[in-house]
Amino acid sequence: MVSFYKMRECLMLLAVAALASAADLLPTCDRPVYCDSALLHQVQMARIYEDSKTFVDLQMKYNESKTLNDFEVLMNDTNQSPSRAQLQQFVDDYFSSDGELEDWTPSDLSDNPAFLETIKDKEFRAFGKGINDIWPLLARKIKAAVLEKPEQHSLVPLTHGFIIPGGRFKEIYYWDSFWIIEGLLISGMNETAKGMIENLIELLIKFGHIPNGSRWYYQERSQPPLLTAMVAVYYKYTQDISFVRDNIGHLENEMEFWLNERSVNVEKDGKNHTLFRFFAPSDGPRPESYYEDYSNTIGFSEEDRNNFYIDIKSAAESGWDFSTRWFITPDGSNNGSLTDIHTRYIIPVDLNAIIAGALQQIAVFNALLLNLQKSYEYAALASDLRNSIEAVLWNKEDSMWYDYNIRDNSHRKYFYSSNVAPLWQNAVSSSFLQANGAKVMTQLEQSGGLDFPGGVPTSLIRSGEQWDFPNVWPPEVSIVVNALENIGTAEAKALAVEVAQTFVRSCHWGFQEYKQMFEKYDAENPGKYGGGGEYNVQFGFGWSNGAVLEFLHKYGSVLTASDNNVNDTTAAPSSTTGPPNSSA
């Protein structure tokens, strides 16, 4: 690891990165078949599969060299224009859809975990049991064939069994795992949660950062860096200090990646500030959405095409793929379309809050391990970042944090659920919170974002993108609820319970109707699944399970499935402990 002082010096010298030229760009990954080949282009553009992800999740029957060489023969034999039928035959001959995962039953799975007894409302208690019963349906481990010939797969082999999100998402996803892990811990599945974290650490060691997901084609982009928060919540439930001691170096290494690769210098009011952005500068379309990305750039110049690919991958790195949050039109507004995506110019509130929280938590862990000098160093980095978040992202007039547009030097003054992330991550000073917490709550109430019967939407803009209105994403509801809880006043805590209850009721209604949990919901229609975006809604669903279990666990003594159930007192009240507090 670089020294603290050298790191700080480097950060002060960083400037906004220039636009990358094609010659500067890395390939999307080190597996050409899945990331950078004529084979990938021909198959995806022929629409052999309706979902572009299907092809890049297939397994090669032969090694990479034979596969690519034989495809080159096909290209030469067809004058570089194979028919769709010829492409289909090649895929059938050279690839397999047998699957790389097998079902797995976690050893710590319980039919009746203890938390159920703390849920007062009997309907919600049954709902909690139903969600707990979903875990084994999502539990997987890597097949031996992947371990024997890893070079023939896009899936990255991992040691431990894990919980997949669900649907088309058949691998580990980075930020999804935070809510999945908390749900597992609430269900008493400590070893499964630990294995999930250890898998992510394996990815960190392999790539130098944790990729978007455990597929090679995600190699050059990450996701919101919640690894430290995962270790913190694991420690909260287990007090396993040995696990912290064994892995503190990996947490520091991940922060070094973000400090070195995703930081920018932002000048505001005559002062320089080091802040963070999502930025994934690699060449070509996203392999899992190749057809969609390539089609969007038809008619673009080479420079515009390369910039689009960088910005759309950067938005995918954010986890918010896609939203008006990343659109910048010529007038600086978000009133555009996907071709107006300019993620690199936006300093996101949530990313900076997450990194500030991680730096502070690493300081706390080092203090627990009696590494006092390191603790002071990380606490100083966290303090610097908190100050920069306040200086650049806080809008005093509106009493709210906003994403910041470094191209036009302006706040993005729109409602997004991510605006309150500094409260969620304790990335504010106690004095700032005391002075502004009530104002933030008032602003949130007046925004209209809390007024929907299906939960808190990510935005109030009906764009057709899946991270915009009317879609409700469970992790974002969790962020808003915990942000309100961390304001600390009785009024804010009561509002947190109200927001949680609205969402849990919505999911409960949907579960009764469809017998499924969905990855996203509809703010206007309780229990209905969300829509929009590049693919159909997926069910399962890991982070939805985790977010609902979080609310049932925190507020189980007061949540009710309907207003008629307020007098149901058939269970003891639960503890209402919140998320790990990273403040020193």
d(CA 91, CA 95): 5
Residue 499 lies in a domain: yes
Residue 23 lies in a domain: no
Q: Which residue has the tokens 């690519």?
A: 68
Q: Which residue has the tokens 């963070």?
A: 276
- Which is the catalytic residue, given 100, 350, 465, 519? 519
Residues composing the chain: 584
Looking at residue 582, what is its pLDDT? 33
Looking at residue 332, what is its pLDDT? 95
Domain extent, residue 61, equals 4-16+31-565
Residue 149 lies in a domain: yes
Looking at residue 266, what is its pLDDT? 97
Quick check: is 519 catalytic? yes
Looking at residue 568, what is its pLDDT? 53
Quick check: is 397 catalytic? no
Looking at residue 564, what is its pLDDT? 84
Looking at residue 76, what is its pLDDT? 98
Cβ-based burial of 504 (10 A; exposed 0-12, middle 13-18, buried ≥19): buried
Q: Report whether 579 contacts 237 (CB < 8 A).
A: no
Give the residue ranges of the chain where pLDDT is below 50. 1-6, 9-23, 569-584
Q: Report whether 493 contacts 486 (CB < 8 A).
A: no
What would the two tokens of residue 4 be?
Answer: 């603290």
d(CA 500, CA 551): 6
Q: Report whether 159 contacts 199 (CB < 8 A).
A: yes
Residues near 531 by beta carbon (within 8 Å), at least 6 away in sequence: 466, 471, 522, 537
3-state secondary structure of 105: coil
List, for residues 45-92, the tens digit of each pLDDT value: 999 999 999 999 999 999 999 999 999 999 999 999 999 999 999 999
Q: Report whether 327 contacts 472 (CB < 8 A).
A: no
For 266-269, the CB contacts below 8 A with 24+ separation are 266/16, 266/347, 266/388, 266/392, 266/404, 266/406, 268/391, 268/392, 268/404, 268/409, 269/391
List, for residues 233-282, the tens digit of each pLDDT value: 999 999 999 999 999 999 999 999 999 999 999 999 999 999 999 999 99
- Which is the catalytic residue, given 220, 321, 390, 485? 321
Residue 573 lies in a domain: no
- Determine how many CB atoms are found less than 10 A away from the CB of residue 560: 17
Read off the amino acid at residue 229: A
Task: List beta partners, residue 267.
Answer: 272
Residue 575 lies in a domain: no
Looking at residue 538, what is its pLDDT? 80
Residue 286 lies in a domain: yes
CATH classification of the domain holding 509: 1.50.10.10
Looking at residue 566, what is its pLDDT? 67
d(CA 193, CA 383): 30
Looking at residue 567, what is its pLDDT? 60
Residue 63 lies in a domain: yes
Count of domains for the chain: 1
Read off the amino acid at residue 357: G
| Closest C-alpha to 168, from 516, 539, 515, 511 | 539
d(CA 522, CA 440): 25
Looking at residue 4, what is its pLDDT? 47
d(CA 228, CA 226): 6
d(CA 38, CA 44): 10
d(CA 270, CA 495): 38
Q: What is the DSSP letter of 536?
A: -
Residue 572 lies in a domain: no
Looking at residue 25, what is its pLDDT? 83
